[in-house]
């Protein structure tokens, strides 16, 4: 049994190794180890995010190891002891029926993400002009409730509006470069081609201070 307090303590203990906290969050969001490492390689220059998470989890809990397996619904992390293995989203905490991956997501989104805000705000000032436009559209869409899934913007809509604003149709390579720059800045994560807003980015109180003013009421 893992308590919610234990998860809070683990996430707090990982504040000095934020890549581990982010790896835990992405694992709880069902990203594969490949996608976790891709994001953290862009963020920190290291592609060992899942391996570091595994080491920390084994060190600080009763589990012997953890693995990640891919299925049609995304990646599923499994926790292993000598006698059994359990999926991360099936481990219930405190006998309350709250599964472990939800606790990790909640702690990260509500508390841990706060520590990234200053870094992200500073990163906005040095983004390329194209990435600043994308950052504006992503955050504006979030604030307006444009996206069906509020933290997962519709990439096709983003690029359509980008083309309207700039008058250019970005190539696949340009799109990849712009999005990877936003990952590096801490604004988003990528799950293959899907965009996930970083909770630290959505928490910024004045995200538009260093972004271009674009006269759009709602991305359509």
User: How is residue 47 written in tokens?
Assistant: 């592609």
pLDDT tens-digit map of 40-72: 999 999 777 788 888 887 787 777 777 777 766
pLDDT tens-digit map of 176-219: 999 999 999 999 999 988 999 999 999 999 999 999 988 665 44
List the chain domain ranges: 4-110, 116-202
**Helix residue ranges per DSSP H, the chain:** 4-13, 18-28, 33-44, 49-60, 100-110, 117-124, 129-144, 155-166, 172-184, 199-202
Three-state SS at 70: strand
- Cα–Cα dist 48/165, whole Å: 38
- Cα–Cα dist 165/186, whole Å: 23
Three-state secondary structure of 141-198: HHHHCCCCCCCCCCHHHHHHHHHHHHCCCCCHHHHHHHHHHHHHCCCEEEECCEEEEC
HSE of 95 in the Cβ direction (CA atoms, 13 Å)?
A: 0
- Cα–Cα dist 160/162, whole Å: 5
> Which pLDDT belongs to residue 97?
57
**What CATH number belongs to 116-202?**
1.10.10
pTM (two decimals): 0.87
- Cα–Cα dist 96/76, whole Å: 21
**Mean of the per-residue pLDDT values of the chain:** 85
Closest CA to 24 of 47, 51, 2, 5: 51
pLDDT tens-digit map of 79-118: 777 777 777 666 655 555 567 788 889 889 998 899 999 9
User: How is residue 43 written in tokens?
Assistant: 């963020």
> Which pLDDT belongs to residue 220?
44
- Cα–Cα dist 141/161, whole Å: 11
């Amino acid at each position: 049994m893992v308590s919610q307090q234990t998860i809070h303590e683990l996430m707090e203990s990982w504040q000095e190794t934020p890549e581990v906290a982010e790896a835990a969050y992405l694992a709880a969001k069902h990203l594969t180890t490949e996608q976790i490492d891709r994001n953290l390689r862009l963020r920190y220059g290291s592609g060992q995010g899942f391996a570091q998470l595994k080491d920390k989890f084994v060190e600080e809990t009763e589990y012997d190891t953890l693995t990640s397996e891919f299925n049609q619904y995304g990646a599923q992390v499994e926790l292993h002891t000598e006698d059994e293995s359990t999926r991360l989203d099936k481990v219930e905490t405190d006998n309350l029926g709250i599964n472990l991956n939800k606790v990790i997501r909640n702690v990260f989104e509500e508390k841990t993400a706060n520590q990234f805000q200053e870094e992200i705000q500073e990163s906005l000032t040095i983004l390329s002009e194209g990435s600043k436009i994308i950052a504006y559209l992503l955050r504006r869409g979030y604030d307006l409730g444009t996206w069906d899934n509020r933290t997962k913007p519709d990439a096709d809509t983003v690029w359509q509006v980008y083309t309207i604003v700039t008058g250019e149709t970005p190539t696949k390579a340009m799109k990849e470069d712009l999005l990877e720059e936003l990952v590096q800045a801490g604004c988003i994560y990528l799950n293959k081609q899907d965009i996930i807003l970083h909770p630290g980015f959505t928490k910024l109180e004045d995200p538009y201070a260093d972004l271009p003013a674009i006269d759009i009421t709602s991305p359509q």
